[in-house]
Amino acid sequence: MRDVMSMGPFVRGYVDDEQREAYAQRLAAITKSPLAEVRAHIEREHRDEQIWMNEKYQVAITPVAEQKNFPACLHLSIKRRDRGVIREWRDLQTIKSVLVGAENEGFEVFPAESRVTDTANQYHLWVFVDPTIRLPVGWATRATLTPEQASMLGAKQRAFEDGTA
């Protein structure tokens, strides 16, 4: 697993009542929704949320209850603290492994256009609470290569920070 120290250790963060109210007021103004409805939405959607931060990322983790034919998950809403774009797969894998578990499997959804949510440079992963659950797609075993090994196949690979593959 990637060295979490490259992005700093995660510590628990908190959103106080004043910050939550300021957010509710901004959201109500943007969406032109009644403030009471926005406050109720925030309370409902973020009641059980945990915030984790390190030097580079802020992650909000919200439980998603088991549903018919689908197991319980944790929703990880991930953003860079500088609000920049993320597309560093290794960082997302490390965040999942450190905050939920190395053997918990997670997934990202590329939804139908009618369900697209794209309001900020923010990424969403859903991770199974039960570490024994596997998606019925993907690879069966681990496969990594060093830059040297990849070049022998005509491919390019970045080095792993800890020197392993």
Condensed to tens digits (0 to 9), the pLDDT of residues 111-128 reads 999 999 888 899 999 999
Q: Does residue 59 fall inside a structural domain? A: yes
Q: For residue 161, is it within any domain?
A: no
3-state secondary structure of 141: coil
Instruction: Kindly report the pTM of this predicted structure.
Output: 0.84
Distance of alpha carbon 51 from the chain centroid: 11
- The residue range of the domain holding 146 is 4-12+49-134+142-152
Could you give the strand order of the β-sheet that contains 106-107, starting from the edge strand earlier in sequence?
Answer: 11-13, 50-53, 57-64, 73-80, 122-128, 106-107
Cβ–Cβ < 8 Å for 81, 95: no
Identify whether 34 is part of a domain: no
Number of domains in the chain: 1
Which tops the pLDDT comparison, 87 or 105?
105
Query: Tell me: the pLDDT tens digits for 58-98?
Result: 999 999 999 999 999 999 999 999 999 988 899 999 999 99
Q: Are 128 and 71 in contact (CB under 8 A)?
A: yes
